[in-house]
Amino acid sequence: MAKSINRLSSLAVSKASKPGLYSDGNGLYLQITSAGVKSWLFRYMKSGKARAMGLGPLHSVTLAEARMKALECRKHLLGGQDPLDQKLQSAAEEALTQHLSITFAKCAEAYIEAHEAAWKSAKHAAQWQSTLSTYAEPVFDKLPVAAIDTGLVMKVLEPIWRTKTETASRLRGRIEAVLDWATVRGYRTGENPARWKGHLDHLLPKRSKIQKVEHHPALPYQDLPAFMEQLRTLNGNAARALELLILTATRTSETIEATWEEVDLDAKTWTIPAARMKAGQEHRVPLSQAAVALFEEQKRISTTAFVFEGGKANKPLSNMALLQLLKRMGRRNLTAHGFRSTFRDWVGETTSFPRELAEAALAHTLRNKTEAAYARGDLLQKRAELMEAWSSFACP
């Protein structure tokens, strides 16, 4: 009588090479593909249908191990269970377990990678990573992102909410964004424990109640003509950049990163692209006669695409250049940004130019939605008159 089980031997298995199925009995087969790949297969009938389940490749599963696996499959069948369905279910449960075990740190890393292309600079992404890794990740540790609750969020925020309010507020927003991302990706469910309105606003005091507003030190507008006279005696790109910043009421980065491509001296305009603006909108700056003269002077000595070249070739001035200049001038009490306040005070206290004109000159976003809806133009011609008046005051 022919042998019905354990038909194969280890030697026969190793020598077999012809593509096909070689039965060991009781549903276990050695499968050889046309490419010569050997693997184990368990074949059976379930509810009148023929099914087959892979038990692994020969290089990883021996004949003895394959027989044990086949035995387990037959036990499942005796118990009324489909071994293939059991295998698929186990794989799905394992995948779900791994899916739900992803940590906050991994989610934060993925969130930053997905969004950093839309951020203005690599510095912004670095700030995100720095605040999250410094304050959040030590508390969340290696916990699954699904396990993060209000108590853990409060454990992160409470120690710094009163002492580092600005940092804590940004941190809360970043945690909320990462958790929202994790929810959409299916890594967690339920409400976001880092949300502010209707949740953390009941547990933490408002920023306005505990944070003092720190204004940039500004020069009184009455002292500006004398300051400009001193500034104009100094040589160098930093001095000229600060002079232009004052004449145009622009921000530090907008000024030091100015390129000749943005400047149209014939039209007397300097168009700062949206990517370099805080509000993300293109800003046209009308140039006064003094500003045009400054650009023309820089044009004569410029050798790069930047109006104000820094210490490194083909690079603009550094962010610290203007602050260092003010220190050398004995003006440690001032910041370059503060001259925007000087300009705003001068407009409000000494001129009849309307408020919205000054706000447009400073490239401020109008908070009043109705007012903003009607402000479709950039008031360039009227701003040109304002900036000429400002220039005449600053450089009499």
Q: Which of 166-175, 245-254, 259-268, 311-320 has the lowest mean pLDDT?
A: 311-320
- Provide the b/e sequence for 19-28 (b: ≥16 CB within 10 Å): eeebebebbb
Q: Quick check: 374 pLDDT over 50?
A: no
Strand boundaries in the chain, DSSP class E:
20-25, 28-32, 38-46, 49-57, 263-264, 269-272, 283-286
Of 291, 279, 283, 285, nearest to 392 (Cα)?
291
Question: In which band, very low, low, confident or very high, does the pLDDT at 267 lie, cut at 50, 70 and 90?
Answer: very high
Most confident of 43-47, 207-211, 300-304: 300-304
CATH superfamily of 10-97: Integrase, DNA-binding domain (3.30.160.390)
Instruction: Tell me the C-alpha distance between 226 and 176, whole Å.
Output: 49
Interhelix angle 380-394/338-350, rounded to 10 degrees, is 100
Burial of 60 (0-12, 13-18, 19+ CB in 10 A): exposed
Of 212, 136, 216, 209, nearest to 170 (Cα)?
136
Whole-number average pLDDT of the chain: 87
Question: In which band, very low, low, confident or very high, does the pLDDT at 88 lie, cut at 50, 70 and 90?
Answer: confident
Instruction: Tell me the C-alpha distance between 382 and 395, whole Å.
Output: 20
- Provide the b/e sequence for 345-376 (b: ≥16 CB within 10 Å): bbbeeeeebeebbbbbbbbeeeeeeeeeeeee
User: Who's near 172: CB < 8 A, 6+ residues apart?
Assistant: 153, 157, 194, 196, 200
Residue type, 351: T
Which residue ranges make up each domain of the chain? Answer: 10-97, 104-210, 221-394
Assess whether the region 10-97 and the region 221-394 belong to the same CATH fold.
Answer: no
User: What is the per-residue pLDDT across 168-227, written as a single tens digit (0 to 9) for each?
Assistant: 999 999 999 999 998 898 888 889 999 999 999 999 998 777 765 455 678 999 999 999
Top CATH class of 221-394 equals mainly alpha
Q: Which two tokens stand for residue 134?
A: 């410094």
Instruction: Tell me the C-alpha distance between 36 and 267, whole Å.
Output: 76
Q: Quick check: 39 pLDDT over 50?
A: yes
Of 78, 59, 65, 1, nearest to 28 (Cα)?
65
Residue 55: per-residue pLDDT? 87
Residue 256: per-residue pLDDT? 94
Residue 97: per-residue pLDDT? 55
User: Who's near 151: CB < 8 A, 6+ residues apart?
Assistant: none
Q: Which of 29-43, 75-89, 220-234, 332-346 has the lowest mean pLDDT?
A: 75-89
Of 197, 194, 218, 207, nearest to 167 (Cα)?
207
Half-sphere exposure of residue 224: CA atoms within 13 angstroms, side-chain side: 27
User: What is the per-residue pLDDT across 159-176, written as a single tens digit (0 to 9) for each?
Assistant: 999 888 888 999 999 999
Better-predicted residue by pLDDT, 390 or 5: 390
- Quick one: which H or E segment has residue 343? helix 338-350
Mean pLDDT of 347-369: 84
Residue type, 111: Y
Residue 299: per-residue pLDDT? 94
Q: Quick check: 131 pLDDT over 60?
A: yes
Q: Quick check: 98 pLDDT over 80?
A: no
Judged by phi (left if over 0) then psi (alpha if -120 to 50, else beta), residue 111 lies in alpha
Mean pLDDT of 355-383: 72
Is CATH 3.10.450.50 correct for 104-210? no
Question: In which band, very low, low, confident or very high, does the pLDDT at 92 lie, cut at 50, 70 and 90?
Answer: low
Mean pLDDT of 4-10: 86
